[in-house]
Homo-oligomer: A and B are copies of this chain.
Amino acid sequence: MISKIAEGNNQFRTIGTRPIRHDGVDKVTGRAMYAADIKSPGLLYGKILRSPHAHAIIKAINVEKAKVYPGVKAVITCEDLPFAPDRMTELGEESFLSLKYLSNNVLAFDKVLYRGHAIAAVAAENAHVAEEALHLIEVEYEVLPSVTNVEDAMRADAPILHDHINTGSFPDESLEKSNIASHQQFTRGDVEKGFDESDVVIEGTYRTSSVHQGYIEPQSATGWWSLNGRVSIWTCTQAPFEVRGNVAKVLGLPVSKIKLIPSEIGGGFGGKLACYLEPVAALLSRKSGKPVKLTLTRSEVLEATGPTSGSVVKIKMGAARDGRILAVEANLAFEAGAYPGSPIGGAMACMLTPYDVPNFIIDGYDVVDNKPKTTAYRAPGAPIGGFAVESLIDEMSRILHLDPIKFRLNNAAKEGSRRPDGIVHSRIGCVEILEAVLNHPHYSTPLKTDTQGRGVAIGFWRNNSGPSSVVASVNPDGTVGVVEGSVDIGGSRVAIAQQFAEALGIPVDDTIPTVVDTDGVGYTSMTAGSGVQFKTGWAAYTAAEDIKTQVKERASLIWDVPVRLIEYSEGVVYNKNDKGQTLNFREIAALLNETGGPIIGRGNVNPGGVGASVTANIIDVEIDLETGKISIIRCTAFQDPGRAIHPSYVEGQMQGGTVQGIGWALNEEYFIGSNGEMLNNSFLDYRMPTSLDVPMIDTMIVEVPNPGHPFGVRGVGEASIIPPLAAVANALRDAAGIRMTALPLSPNAVFDALSAAENY
């Protein structure tokens, strides 16, 4: 089943339509409240002192002068946090290290591990005083050599970040200490045999640079500690409950002592899952007795939050002349930044997953270096793995003289085949996506000039679930307040409301979705993993079913008819034995208070049945041979969301993900200076795509409903970022005959490659 979603021709009333999002007007008129909009009586302003060195031992911190500076109300350092090295025994190694990494990244303990690492914080009556006072904090450093590149960090002579990491087995097993924090492996079949049986074996080494999530809204958090021991924290986060948990861990509190109030969020893309400012704001408030707000500058965002990993991927692939991939060997090393935890696992789990490959071995290494701790970025890891695999597949299809999509179709994963991570594929839309690409007019439209080229690539993303809660209260006018814990970063309020309205048979405009704080709703896992429409949609569906049950009971009471004779369908409750006896939802809503009280529906779930998404790009580029500049002249994005609840926001996610992938492919990178400092720490110099850089991205939604969800949802937010990296590189190969294996494909890099090819 392949279909561009056909509106007006679907089985649903509300799902698949495009209502205006409930939060839309407030967001475009400036009324929506973001984290930095918070004001409260007596508010103080905080600033953070950050390391000027990429790697140094902190020998002493003296805050005395800052503390007495007029207008300063509190100064904190790591001494105000409960982390201490002697807690290893008490906590056990795993918990201790988890606390150490989290706490030391919030405020450095014995060492600073990257330029911009937070060391101390000041709260003052205004931001200027706070900034002044930062200069009065004296830190004595012993500067160490630094390493800011994954390959350098793995060398035997690399500066070592953490004395306790000794799992080094790559490249040198003899090392006692290492920057390699972990090693994982997925393998199946007999790789050597696979290569032996292959007609063609090719290989390549692919590199990517650090790139940042680049959300518009810098992090901001306000803490207000009550003398009753509870602290309220207003912050922009994708993960209110997880951040609550992490703040609790860093501060040594039970989670219930923290009330986390999420604001509207100006973009996250994974970068707002982490916990940076929240414990600092809380502690400054505890010390000062006042609410304290901290807001990052853009430079702080780039230097001390995010990014995702720079990487190196060595990959070798063997295939039979008939187009079967027989073996893959891949070796991935990802920067984790200052503390372990790169998205290496995501890359390993997804890079080969759209294909059935009988023999493979995938090794992954998580490597620390002197850069900010990496955090999640849209389909974490998958774009990097995809860049290598999809580039190599493009080369292989050229060698085999096969259409690159047909070559992929030859090897496409199907329901029942086993993923590299061992999970068996449930119903998956890989074939449908590939056929959609093959049949799309874009794929067969001739290019216009010699300097144009076309590239294709596909991507796989596993998507995710988690606990989620929705509580829905019926108003006397027949509208329903839908309370949810999922922060809305991409139109999720309206799409959750559509699933709720669909289940209850009421218009979506009759719902009032509200995202509330951690005291106001049940545990709801993060807005991430493309999981909100899956899990919170399911919770909303469950809450609607709970309301239907109660509405039937109430009708039974009102009509004095046994409840077994009452039916509810399409927003109308009726007596099965007397079809004239009906009440629509608005009518019964008006009767509730007088017939037993209001009706509240609850949905509290942690559903299994997640469905993965496959995605694809056709990208046409034009290369300026004089400058090396690549222009994207046409781009079509394909994705299987399972069910497109709100097609506009599905398309928006596909377009947004694709543009971020294009930015990663073409321009984005961290330029690091000789002392480990980021040289391009502003949006003027960190080159993200603007609307002038990309054409309108055409989208094609291919719905292959997920049988594991009431409405067939898989998820949509992440997968579209995967294919552009290779699709652009493949298009450049098509246009100019050069295979570039390191991102970004910036004009100077392309120009150098073109020059080298000419010389060759």
Give me the interface of A with B, judged by CB distance under 8 Å.
22, 24-26, 29, 31, 33, 37, 39-41, 224, 226-228, 230, 245, 254-256, 259, 466-469, 471, 473-477, 479, 481, 483, 510, 512, 514, 516, 518-525, 539, 592-602, 604-607
A-B contact pairs, 22 of them (CB 8 A): A22-B228, A25-B226, A31-B224, A33-B41, A37-B40, A39-B41, A255-B477, A256-B477, A256-B512, A468-B598, A469-B597, A474-B522, A474-B523, A481-B519, A483-B521, A512-B519, A520-B520, A521-B600, A522-B600, A596-B605, A598-B604, A600-B604
Complex contacts, A474 vs chain B, CB 8 Å: 522-523
Cα(A230)–Cα(B473), bound, Å = 18
Selected from B26, B259, B606, the residue in CB contact (under 8 A) with A226 is: B26
Enumerate chain B residues within 8 angstroms of A22, measured Cβ to Cβ: 228
Once the chains bind, are A226 and B31 in contact (CB under 8 Å)?
Answer: yes
Which B residues are in CB contact (< 8 Å) with A523? 473-476, 592-593, 597-598
Residue numbers in B under 8 Å from A224 (CB-CB)? 31
Nearest CB in chain B to that of A39: its residue: B39
The 10 closest A-B pairs by CB, nearest first: A597-B606, A25-B228, A256-B479, A473-B522, A522-B598, A523-B598, A39-B39, A522-B600, A467-B593, A600-B602
Q: Are A475 and B255 in contact (CB under 8 A)?
A: yes
Which residues of the other chain, B, contact A516 by a CB distance below 8 angstroms? 516, 520
Task: For A245, list chain B residues within 8 Å (CB).
Answer: 476
Q: Write the nearest CB–CB distance from A21 to chain B, whole angstroms.
A: 10
Q: Which residues of B contact A26 (CB under 8 A)?
A: 226-228
In the complex, A514 Cα to B475 Cα: how many Å?
20
A226 in contact with B29 given A471-B471, A523-B473 (CB within 8 Å):
yes
A395 to nearest B CB, angstroms? 44
Besides A476-B523, A598-B606, 12 more A-B contacts (Cβ < 8 Å) are A26-B228, A31-B226, A37-B40, A256-B475, A466-B593, A467-B592, A467-B597, A469-B598, A473-B522, A474-B523, A520-B520, A597-B605
Residues on the B chain within 8 Å of A592, using CB: 467, 523
Q: Are B481 and A520 in contact (CB under 8 A)?
A: yes
Nearest-Cβ distance from residue A45 to partner chain B, whole angstroms: 15
Tell me if A467 and B255 are in contact (CB < 8 A). Answer: no
Q: Which residues of B contact A468 (CB under 8 A)?
A: 597-598
Q: Which of A41, A228, A539 has the most CB of B within 10 A?
A: A228
Which single member of B227, B519, B525, B604 contacts A29 (CB below 8 Å)? B227
Inter-chain contacts of A602 with B (CB < 8 A): 471, 600-602
- Asked if A599 contacts B522 (CB within 8 A), the reply is yes
Cα-based distance from A524 to B599 in the complex (angstroms): 11
Q: Which residues of B contact A471 (CB under 8 A)?
A: 471, 483, 600, 602
Give A37's nearest chain B residue, CB to CB: B41
Count identical subunits in the complex: 2
The answer to whether B600 and A606 touch across the interface, beta carbons within 8 angstroms, is no
The CA of A510 and the CA of B230, in the complex, are separated in Å by 12
What is the CA–CA distance of A481 and B240 in the complex, to the nearest angstrom? Answer: 15
A472 to B37, CA, bound (A): 29
- For residue A543, give the distance in angstroms from its CB to the closest CB of chain B: 9
Nearest residue (CB) in B for A472 is B522
Most chain B C-beta atoms within 10 Å of own C-beta, residue among A224, A466, A469: A469
Contact at B228–A24, with CB atoms within 8 Å? yes
Chain B residues closer than 8 Å to A598, beta-carbon distance: 467-469, 522-524, 604, 606
Q: Are B520 and A483 in contact (CB under 8 A)?
A: yes
Which B residues are in CB contact (< 8 Å) with A259? 512
Cα–Cα, bound, A26→B289 (Å): 12
Asked whether A479 lies within 8 Å of B254 as measured between CB atoms, the reply is yes
- Per the bound structure, the CA–CA distance linking A224 and B26 in Å amounts to 11
A436→B301 CA distance, assembly (Å): 70
Contact of A473 among B40, B466, B469, B607 (CB under 8 A): B469
Give every chain B residue within 8 A of A226 (Cβ-Cβ): 25-26, 29, 31
Find the B residue at minimum CB distance from A594.
B606
Q: How far is the CA of A602 from the CA of B228 in the complex (A)?
A: 27
Least CB distance, A73 to chain B, in whole angstroms: 15
Residues of chain B within 8 A (CB-CB) of A518 are 481
| Nearest CB of B to A24, in Å | 7
Nearest residue, chain B, Cβ from A546: B602
Q: Name the residue on B nearest A471 (C-beta).
A: B471
Q: How far is the CB of A154 from chain B (nearest CB, A)?
A: 36
Most B C-beta atoms less than 10 A away, residue of A256, A521, A595, A601: A256
CA distance A598 to B520 in the complex (A): 13
The minimal Cβ–Cβ distance linking A461 to chain B, given in whole angstroms, is 23
Complex alpha-carbon distance, A254 and B602, angstroms = 24
The CA of A341 and the CA of B310, in the complex, are separated in Å by 74
List of B residues within 8 angstroms of A606 by Cβ:
593-598
Complex CA–CA separation, A227 to B596 (angstroms): 36
CA distance A473 to B523 in the complex (A): 8
Q: Shortest CB–CB separation between residue A446 and chain B, in angstroms?
A: 47
Minimal Cβ-Cβ distance residue in B for A535: B597
CA A522 – CA B479 in complex, angstroms? 11
A552 → chain B, closest Cβ, in Å?
A: 15
- Chain B positions within 8 Å of A596 at CB level: 605-606
Closest to A542 in B: B597
- Least CB distance from A64 to B in Å reads 28
Residue in A227, A474, A520, A524 with the greatest tally of chain B CB atoms within 10 Å: A520
- Cα separation A604 to B254 with both chains bound (whole Å): 30
Question: Which residues from chain B contact A475 at a C-beta distance below 8 Å?
Answer: 255-256, 523
Residues of chain B lying within 8 A (CB to CB) of residue A256: 475, 477, 479, 510, 512
* Chain B min CB distance to A95 (Å): 15
Please, how many angstroms separate the alpha-carbon atoms of A753 and B596 in the complex? 54
Q: Given A256-B477, A523-B476, are A599 and B604 also a contact pair (CB < 8 Å)?
A: yes
Among A230, A476, A518, A524, the one with the most B-chain Cβ atoms within 10 Å of its Cβ is A476
Q: How far is the CA of A539 from the CA of B599 in the complex (A)?
A: 12
Bound Cα distance A707, B376 (Å): 57
